[in-house]
Amino acid sequence: MKALIMHVDMDAFFAAVEELANPALKGKALAVAGPGERTIVTTASYKARAFGVRTGMTVPQAKNLCRDLIVLKADYRKYAHASGLVMRTLESFTPMINVLSIDEAFLDISDLTAGFGEPRDLGRKSKQEVLSKTGLTCSVGIATGRLLAKLASTLEKPDGLTVIREEDACSILKGLPVGRLCGIGPATAEKLGQMGIRTCGELGSYPLEPLERRFGKLGKDLSRMGRGLDPAGNPILGGRTEKSLSISHSVTFPRDLTGKESMKQVLLTLSEMVGRRIRRHNGTAGRISVTWRLGDFSTFTRQKTLNAQVFLTKDIYHHSLSIFEGIELTGPVRLLGITLSGLCFEGSGSFLLEEDLKRNRLQETLDSVNDRYGEFSLAFGGTIGDLRSQKVISPSWRAKGIRNSY
DNA sequence: TCTGGGGTCCTAGGACCC
DNA sequence: TCTGGGGTCCTAGGACCC
């Protein structure tokens, strides 16, 4: 028997949570924007969407379309809390759940429909439960695979419920633009277009060989996707918890910066931010990358594989700085970021050198004070407290793997 | 007052080793 | 007096996702 998958996608999640927290906002044209001054709309309420406001627009662009638009700064703590309620509610249906992001999850409901009758009844029941437990609406898609379930959840948004039966998949895909499938973005859609492929129907019936020649490994997946099948090797639902592969922080400056000196202060702050996160999870990093973006949006990275795993702010800063000093900046800098990778979560190990022991104790003291009184209450000289408002979603919100706690 | 921030996966070239 | 070939690690960049 084929697996039956349900995809649950919250409707205008951040905006809906804000409306719930402040009923005066209910039904208003609302946009939630990122941190900082040069920011974009991350979520628009449906009222705002009616004016043409979309995710990814700059705030001025959005306001141009909708004079009365209310713009709120994202408050991830609020969203994480609401998300926890949503996911726990879904988990009460089945442990076979794969949390895809803060507002989305897949459920394997293959063995579940017996108790709920038709798949549609189960979809309806889960929507009711989410609404009654959280006050939030979601859109649900049910199909024989993740690709189609995810597509289905978009077909009747908001507050939708769509079941794609196996026998109907072909007719739905026939005229559907390839870009509607999760995994086919603008670049791939453009390349497919050059081959004369515009719809999923055309993609599914296209000979495999030229697709593989053009796209390599992706070619086989594309062919499957055109026929409504999941890409090969898609992760299995309900697997073990996976750890992050990387931890990063970046900032876009209010105005492009030119002086390398001022950017070093930012590097130190970013080192502290990624360092605190990796220490909180008892991890270490074996690789450090520095990312910078120029005013023209060209983006570069330089990375360094380390001889030893690191987790202390001072060490992260030291290595980032050595990368940064080797960089020749060819213009004003818009964004600066640090990524830790080559992660290991088996603990920070023992401290063989007295010096390391002392530095680690100092770090633990700083971390515990910051834990109690808030980020950057205490920090090495030079960190910039202004970044402190830029809280992030905890790593358990990764777009991959199975959540185990909130 | 064009274009956030945090992620994953894939490719491709070079170094290096056997 | 010719330029094998596989495997692995490292690096930089691109595509895509929410």
Q: What pLDDT, on the 0 to 100 scale, is given for residue A366?
A: 65
For residue A177, what are the β-bridge partners? A199
Nucleotide nearest to A398 (CA to C1'): B7
CA angle (A377, A40, A250) in 5-degree steps: 45
Please state, in angstroms and rounded to a whole number, the distance separating the CA atoms of residues A170 and A373.
57
Model pLDDT for residues A124-150, shown as the tens digit of each residue: 999 999 999 999 999 999 999 999 999
Which residues touch A41 (CB under 8 Å, ≥6 apart)?
A31, A32, A33, A53, A54, A55, A56, A57, A58, A59, A62, A71
Q: What pLDDT, on the 0 to 100 scale, is given for residue A401?
A: 31
Percentages of chain A per state (helix, strand, coil), in multiples of 5:
45, 20, 35
Question: Could you tell me where the beta strands, DSSP code E, fall in A92-134?
Answer: 97-101, 104-108
Model pLDDT for residues A162-171, shown as the tens digit of each residue: 999 999 999 9
Rg for chain A (alpha carbons), in Å? 24
Q: What pLDDT, on the 0 to 100 scale, is given for residue A390?
A: 45
Model pLDDT for residues A342-380, shown as the tens digit of each residue: 999 876 555 556 666 667 767 766 676 666 555 555 555
- What's at A347, amino acid-wise? G
Sign of CA dihedral A127, A133, A138, A140: negative
Please state, in angstroms and rounded to a whole number, the distance separating the CA atoms of residues A61 and A346.
47
Low-confidence ranges of chain A (pLDDT < 50): 239-240, 388-406
Q: What pLDDT, on the 0 to 100 scale, is given for residue A388?
A: 46
Is A104 marked active-site? yes
Protein CA at A188 to nucleotide C1' at B13, angstroms:
23
**C chain positions with any atom within 7 Å of a protein CB:** 9-18
Q: What pLDDT, on the 0 to 100 scale, is given for residue A61?
A: 95
Q: What is the pTM of this model?
A: 0.88
Q: What pLDDT, on the 0 to 100 scale, is given for residue A378?
A: 52
Residues with CB under 7 A from strand C: A 100-104, 150, 181-189, 287, 289, 299-305, 399
- Would you tell me how many other CB atoms lie within 10 Å of the CB of residue A101? 15
Name the active-site residue from A104, A272, A325, A354: A104
**B chain positions with any atom within 7 Å of a protein CB:** 1-12
